[in-house]
Structure 1
Amino acid sequence: MLQRCFVIPIYNHHDTIAATVTQLLPYQLPIIIIDDGSDAATKEALAALQQQYPQWVAVHHLPVNTGKGGAVMEGLRQAHQRGLTHALQIDADGQHDANDIPRFWDCAAKHPEALISGAPQYDDSIPTARKIGRQITHFWVHIETLSLQVKDTMCGFRVYPVAATLATIEAHCPGARMDFDIEIMVRMYWRGIAMYFIPTKVIYPEGGRSHFQGLADNWRISKMHTRLFFGMLLRLPKLLARKCRRGTA
């Protein structure tokens, strides 16, 4: 039986975190929030939530900003320390459709060994540059995995099997910023961890605050894809054998 929780990485989203937490409370599951060196307003909002919902909300403060990936990794470690087996990561900014959460948990219950990820369905709110960037990353991920089965690696709405994910992190030390979501999924695929994708609506809220740093994060992601490409070459026989066994893309 799954021992479940939510993990929310947060950096300066004081205006949306209460609404995000409110949507999760009906599930009566631990909500682990990792404050990634946020500003005073966000710390105040988190303190209020922890005081209002002490049974469900636990806040862990990182002293400095480590990046989204660093916050997620800390959240998974916190979940593991509590004896929890599965963590649903959801963003703090209201970008993800919480109505789909039951579908994620149902899929995780049927496939407890797997990583369950959202397959984003975007509306017109997605910035053109982000849309193009996603298409480029999907192209490289298909090469790095020699598969079309990994449908999306950039959606931060996903259920992690905690032990398997932490084992991957310990073995490979993935990037701690916006490169994390992509790299951890490719490396878990290489380790033979099954993946399932659930179509889900993702929006870019009007007036929303993005922490994606155009030049810096694109440079990190480019370097990451270079590492993963050469990693794929080292694993080429194994990946080809898997592809032949499945007889599919």
Structure 2
Amino acid sequence: MSDFCVIIPVYNHPDTIGPTVADIRHLGVPVVLVDDGSAAVCADVLRALAEADPQVHLERLPENCGKGAAVKVGLLRAEKLGFQHALQIDADGQHNTADIPRLMDLARQYPEAVISGMPDYDDSVPLLRFYCRYLTHILVWINTLSLEIQDSMCGFRAYPVAPICQLLRAESLGDRMDFDTEVLVKWFWQGGRIVQTKTRVSYPLDGISHFRGFEDNWLLTKLHIRLLFGMLWRLPRLIGRRDSVKGLSL
């Protein structure tokens, strides 16, 4: 059994998930697919991928519950399967699978840390999305009293499975697009280390985005309000250990 697996939350990406899984399996890394209530066409593709390869594990949610919910299911499945680290990657092909070995090397070097990507965008990134991310960056810096989380929104990262599953059981974490930011902030709050590294991110012209405009922006707004209040009652502890928790960017 490998120490690592890759978790892929999937919601209606029938055209990109096959090549993404093939790239990962070419690296020799097992895959945990989480079908987040996809339509029949995509569900059939996922079932075929799992049936063709014993190192491709499939979990299926009966209805669409959100990216965060799917990642949480994948992490708990990874724990049950005995993996020490789980990488999270999107199903739409925007993340660079060639960077997986680098994240794995960093996870071996810093086994108790979350290894999180920092996007290095190419020209395909929508400019509005690029600039709006900085508002979340600023709010995260406020809610952690730190500049150590330089990007909290990249869904390409590696988790130490046992401690992150402890966090899942101890904390309420978002089920949708709020998950990626919330899990990093709450990991930081409990004293966890975060190592960040640049990774190329592209937006394919034929890519399918499930970002829901007003709904997800409102979801993120509510998240940052909750985090602000969470930071305020943790304020003495955060101030007291500002120098004890060190992030690292590579």
Cα–Cα, structure 1 residues 216 and 245, in superposed 2: closer, same or farther, change >3 Å?
Answer: same
Deviates more, 1:140-149 or 1:127-136: 127-136
Deviates more, 1:126-135 or 1:75-84: 126-135
Q: For residues 155-194 of structure 1, what are the structure 2 equivalents within 5 Å?
A: 155-194=154-193
Equivalent residue for 1:94?
93
- Assess if the C-alpha contact under 8 Å between 2:2 and 2:30 holds in 1: no
Equivalent residue for 1:61?
60
2:229 aligned partner, one-letter code: F
Equivalent residue for 2:107?
108
Equivalent residue for 1:46?
46
Cα deviations by residue, 1:196-249 (Å, 9 ceiling, x for unpaired): 01100001111210000011111110000001011111111111112245799x
Shift of 1:49: 1.1
Q: For residues 131-210 of structure 1, what are the structure 2 equivalents within 5 Å?
A: 131-210=130-209
Cα–Cα, structure 1 residues 95 and 246, in superposed 2: closer, same or farther, change >3 Å?
Answer: closer
Equivalent residue for 1:4?
4
Shift of 1:176: 0.3
2:140 aligned partner, one-letter code: V
Q: For residues 167 and 191 of structure 1, what CA distance do their matches in structure 2 show? A: 11
Cα–Cα, structure 1 residues 247 and 154, in superposed 2: closer, same or farther, change >3 Å?
Answer: closer
Identity of counterpart residues, as a percentage?
48
2:47 aligned partner, one-letter code: A
Shift of 1:23: 0.5
Shift of 1:35: 0.1
- Assess if the C-alpha contact under 8 Å between 1:2 and 1:109 holds in 2: no
Cα deviations by residue, 1:61-86 (Å, 9 ceiling, x for unpaired): 10010000000000001011111121
1:79 aligned partner, one-letter code: A
Q: For residues 68 and 170 of structure 2, what CA distance do their matches in structure 1 show? A: 16
Equivalent residue for 2:122?
123
Q: How many aligned residue pairs are there?
A: 248
1:25 maps onto 2:10 in alignment: no
- Assess if the C-alpha contact under 8 Å between 2:192 and 2:245 holds in 1: no
Cα deviations by residue, 1:37-70 (Å, 9 ceiling, x for unpaired): 00111011112212222x2111111001000000
Equivalent residue for 1:240?
239
Aligned-CA RMSD value: 1.8
Shift of 1:2: 7.5
1:40 aligned partner, one-letter code: A
Alignment gaps of 5+ in structure 2: none
Equivalent residue for 1:223?
222
- Assess if the C-alpha contact under 8 Å between 1:33 and 1:75 holds in 2: yes
Cα deviations by residue, 1:115-142 (Å, 9 ceiling, x for unpaired): 0000101122111221232111000000
Q: For residues 49 and 30 of structure 1, what CA distance do their matches in structure 2 show? A: 12
Cα deviations by residue, 1:4-33 (Å, 9 ceiling, x for unpaired): 111000000000001000101123232100
Q: For residues 246 and 90 of structure 1, what CA distance do their matches in structure 2 show? A: 26
Alignment gaps of 5+ in structure 1: none
Cα deviations by residue, 1:139-166 (Å, 9 ceiling, x for unpaired): 0000011111111110000001112111
2:82 aligned partner, one-letter code: G
- Assess if the C-alpha contact under 8 Å between 1:108 and 1:116 holds in 2: yes
Q: For residues 126 and 167 of structure 2, what CA distance do their matches in structure 1 show? A: 32
Deviates more, 1:157-166 or 1:108-117: 157-166
Deviates more, 1:27-36 or 1:64-73: 27-36
Equivalent residue for 1:76?
75
